[in-house]
Amino acid sequence: MASNGACDTMRVFLLAVGCWLNLLIKYYAMESRANHNQVSHCPNKCLSCVQWLPLFKKKKQNSIEKFQNHDIIVYVLGGPGCGKGTQCSKIVEDFGFIHLSAGELLETEVKTGSETGKMIQEFKKEGKLVPSEVVVKLLKQAMQRSGNRKFLIDGFPRNEENRLTAEKMLGIQPTIVLVFDCSEEEMIRRVMQRNQGRVDDNMDTIRKRLKVYKESTLPVIDYYAKKGKARKINAERPVEEVFRSVEAVFSELGLVKRGKTIV
Ligand SMILES: Nc1ncnc2c1ncn2[C@@H]1O[C@H](COP(=O)(O)OP(=O)(O)OP(=O)(O)O)[C@@H](O)[C@H]1O
Ligand SMILES: Nc1ccn([C@H]2C[C@H](O)[C@@H](COP(=O)(O)O)O2)c(=O)n1
């Protein structure tokens, strides 16, 4: 008698498992049709109960979970006012990159009035570099939010600490590093004529920024030059001429202007 009871329990159990598997199969068949843009006409009303099955699936996210080897990451370096931002806008237009300026991300944080923002403002006034973890955290958030896979990271990494923190916190290496080369006199002239109300566009701060560039950023450029990743471009020329050299670098990467071929 006892063994009969056990058999019954086992039968009920197997029946339940069978029903569950049946539902799962039907759900995935429906989902596969949906993924192929086919309309699902399911006559079986009981199938409605499978709609809650996605609850058991890991939630899909819009943001990027992890940066991957096939992401294209272009670091953009050069002294203050050499024209990085100007060239980046043109690259975005023609090559469909997402432009992330470390300086602008910091400025956005300043405008929130947060404690971090106040601290950033003090560093900027002094022409000093903000602690790497702050910059990298802002970059990471912006990269993940963008959902893009081609990043133009402008004004970063400015020192060895920036570079190492990005490697550690983001796990990324640049595909290539654009370096805009310009004389100090020309950079000072451009910054002083910029007239955008920046807290760091004054003679005293520019001198400090140039010092930081020479002492902290040039060694980073040397590091990438040794790895064969730095592409030096003469930025002293008019905007369009500089951009022609930029285009040459992008075609070396196998990227062509939007609207011509698939990038
Ligand atoms: N090739 C160029 N010739 C003349 N003026 C230029 C050239 N490129 C940029 N400029 C001008 O120089 C100023 C600085 O340019 P931009 O803001 O692009 O430099 P930046 O490198 O991004 O500066 P920063 O590092 O301070 O953010 C701007 O007023 C811009 O219009
Ligand atoms: N990696 C970075 C980038 C920028 N900053 C700070 C210091 C700069 O003077 C300022 C403006 O940057 P820019 O627009 O010139 O790229 O932002 C930093 O501390 N670390």
CATH number (domain holding residue 107): 3.40.50.300
55 shares its domain with 16:
yes
For 42, the domain range is 4-62
Residue 214 DSSP class: I
Q: Answer yes or no: do 27 and 112 share one domain.
A: no
Do 115 and 198 sit in the same domain of this protein? yes
Q: What is the dihedral of CA 224, 125, 208, 187, to 10 degrees?
A: 70
- Specify the number of domains making up the chain: 2
> Does residue 159 share a domain with residue 45?
no
**Which atom, in ligand 2's list, is nearest to the CA of 104?**
14
Q: Answer yes or no: do 76 and 203 share one domain.
A: yes
Decide if 260 is inside a domain. Answer: no
Distance between Cα 205 and ligand 1 center (Å): 16
Distance CA 249, CA 243 (A): 10
For residue 259, is it within any domain?
Answer: no
Q: Supply the mean pLDDT for the chain.
A: 84
Is 104 part of a structural domain of the chain? yes
Q: Are residues 27 and 118 in the same domain?
A: no
Lowest mean pLDDT among 59-68, 69-78, 116-125: 59-68
Looking at residue 10, what is its pLDDT? 81
143 in any annotated domain: yes
Domain assignment present for residue 102? The answer is yes
What's the burial of 113, exposed, middle or buried (CB within 10 Å: 0-12/13-18/19+)?
Answer: exposed
Give the residue from 62, 79, 107 where a domain finishes: 62
The per-residue DSSP string of 32-90 comes to: HHHHTTPPP----GGGGGGGGGGGGSPPP-SS-SS--TTSEEEEEEESTTSSHHHHHHH
From ligand 2's centre to the CA of 208, what distance in Å? Answer: 12
Q: What's the confidence (pLDDT) of residue 35?
A: 36
262 in any annotated domain: no
- Is the pLDDT higher at 84 or at 15? 84
Q: Which of 41, 62, 83 is where one domain is finished? A: 62
Judge whether 49 is annotated as a binding position. Answer: no
The DSSP output letter for 260 is: T
User: Residue 76: phi, psi to the nearest 5?
Assistant: -120, 115
How confident is the model at residue 28, as a pLDDT?
53
Examine the domain organization and report whether 99 and 210 are in the same domain.
yes
Q: Is the CB of 79 under 6 A from ligand 1?
A: no
Q: Which residues, at least 6 apart from 238, have a Cβ–Cβ distance to it below 8 Å?
A: none
Please indicate if the annotation marks 5 as binding a ligand. no
254's tokens:
């196998």
Share above pLDDT 90 across residues of the chain, in percent, rounded to a whole number: 63
Query: What would the mean pLDDT of 213-227 be, rounded to a whole number?
Result: 98
Say yes or no: 134 and 196 in one domain: yes
Q: Is 147 flagged in the annotation as binding? A: no
For residues 32 and 101, state if they share a domain: no
Q: Are residues 119 and 212 located together in one domain of the fold?
A: yes
Tens-digit pLDDT profile for residues 11-33: 878 887 776 777 666 655 544 44
